């Protein structure tokens, strides 16, 4: 059973690597998102407006979403294993493949890169608007590239390592519950007038669920920085854009330069390894938010750094999978 579970993890990651999220195929996260939207409308009618009412409504949103997601995903997983170990393996593989986000994150962020590659800044701007929550209309070329890099860095944890750990330790139901928490945070976890109180429970739960994975991701990304530095130096020689030592330095200094206790963990490592400066002030819903910078501007941000950030993300992912492969082969 343990070997089949570990094999399901590896098979699911392979499915994500090959297929990603085909646009023609319905995705469970869409279902979770629709559930959140419908429950929000219902709960806002049930509870009074104001701080206490919206806090209570937001807590019940978390309860209902997790309860329904857990029941459905847990039932599907349990039925698979009851039918046969191989049916359970197949179900868990598909559940893992659906919820891992390596391929989609790489594809969507590289669309920004390809826009710059064609000297089409508006194409790059449109592409980055699909993967970030900030306003992109007034972003400069550098701002567009930085936004894409930050998204890759942050989602190395949220979209890859955290779901992977959830799958390893809690199976298919675990990865679905994690994505439910993550989706709630992305939909209602804003500190604006509409969601300041309603989304607080979802945002705090997301912070809690990502606390350990974010730090594991940062550690793996530091190792990945050294791997990238070694192979780049070995194959291409001078002017190495990667620095593992800078990854450690900036991580130690800037890993809390964000209102979220988790977001700056991998962003700090990425900024350090690539020797660039990320973050800073940004606009959300037409309002300017002051944010500290992350990293030092050893060199200016270039659109090529989007590809380098994806390389760093991919090596981090590989390093995370190595223990799973070892356990699979050494588990009786």
DSSP secondary structure letters along 272-293: HHHT--EE--EEETTEEE---E
What is the domain range of residue 43? 2-330
Could you give the CA distance from residue 302 to residue 278 in angstroms, rounded to a whole number?
A: 12
pLDDT digits (tens, 9 = 90+) for 159-192: 999 999 999 999 999 999 999 999 999 899 888 8
Question: What domain count does the chain have?
Answer: 1
82 to 45, 70, 88, 164, 174: CA distances (angstroms): 41, 17, 7, 24, 18
pLDDT for res 179: 97
- Quick one: pLDDT at residue 22? 77
202 near 40, Cβ under 8 Å? no
pLDDT computed for residue 332 by the predictor: 61
| pLDDT recorded at residue 327 | 92
Q: How does pLDDT run across 191-222, given as a tens digit for each residue? A: 888 889 999 999 999 999 999 999 999 999 99
Distance, CA of 69 to CA of 64 (rounded, Å): 8
Contacts for 322 with CB less than 8 Å, ≥ 6 apart? none
pLDDT confidence of residue 192: 80
Per-residue pLDDT of the chain (332 residues; tens, 9 = 90+): 789 999 999 999 999 999 888 777 788 999 999 999 999 999 999 999 989 999 999 999 999 999 999 999 999 999 999 999 999 999 999 999 999 999 999 999 999 999 999 999 999 999 998 888 777 888 889 999 999 999 999 999 999 999 999 999 999 999 999 999 999 998 998 888 888 999 999 999 999 999 999 999 999 999 999 999 998 888 776 788 999 999 999 999 998 888 788 988 999 999 999 999 998 766 666 667 678 899 999 999 999 999 999 999 999 999 999 999 999 988 86
Alpha carbon distance 212, 138 (integer Å):
35
305 contact partners, CB below 8 Å, separation of at least 6: 145, 149, 241, 274, 276
The pLDDT score that the predictor gives to residue 330 is: 87
pLDDT at 283 (0 to 100): 66
């Amino acid at each position: 059973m343990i070997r089949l579970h570990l094999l399901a993890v590896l098979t699911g990651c392979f499915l994500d690597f090959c297929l990603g999220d085909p646009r023609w195929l319905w995705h469970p996260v869409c279902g979770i998102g629709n559930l959140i939207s419908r429950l929000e409308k219902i709960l806002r009618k049930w509870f009074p407006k104001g701080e206490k009412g919206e806090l209570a409504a937001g807590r019940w949103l978390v309860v209902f979403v997790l309860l329904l997601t857990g029941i459905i995903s847990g039932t599907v997983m349990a039925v698979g294993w009851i039918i046969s170990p191989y049916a359970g393996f197949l179900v868990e593989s598909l559940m893992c493949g659906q919820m891992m986000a390596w391929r989609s994150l790489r594809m969507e962020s590289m669309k920004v890169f390809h826009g710059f590659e064609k000297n089409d800044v508006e194409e790059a701007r449109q592409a980055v608007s699909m993967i970030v929550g900030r306003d992109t209309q007034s972003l400069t070329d550098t701002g567009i590239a930085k936004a894409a890099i930050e998204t890759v860095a942050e989602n190395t944890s949220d979209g890859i390592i955290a779901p992977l750990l959830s799958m390893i330790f809690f199976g298919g139901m675990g990865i679905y519950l994690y994505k439910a928490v993550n989706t709630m945070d992305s939909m209602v976890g804003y500190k604006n007038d509409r969601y300041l109180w309603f989304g607080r429970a979802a945002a705090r739960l997301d912070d809690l669920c990502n606390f350990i994975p974010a730090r594991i991701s940062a550690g793996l990304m530091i190792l990945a920085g050294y791997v990238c530095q070694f192979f780049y130096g070995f194959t291409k020689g001078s002017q190495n854009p990667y620095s593992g030592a800078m990854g450690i330095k900036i991580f130690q200094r800037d890993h809390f330069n964000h209102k979220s206790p988790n977001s700056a963990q991998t962003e700090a490592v990425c900024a350090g390894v690539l020797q660039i400066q990320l973050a800073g002030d940004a606009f959300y819903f037409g309002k300017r938010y002051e944010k500290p910078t992350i990293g030092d501007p050893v060199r200016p941000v270039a659109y090529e750094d989007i590809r380098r950030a994806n390389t760093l993300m991919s090596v981090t992912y590989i390093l995370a999978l190595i223990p799973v492969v070892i356990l699979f082969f050494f588990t009786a």
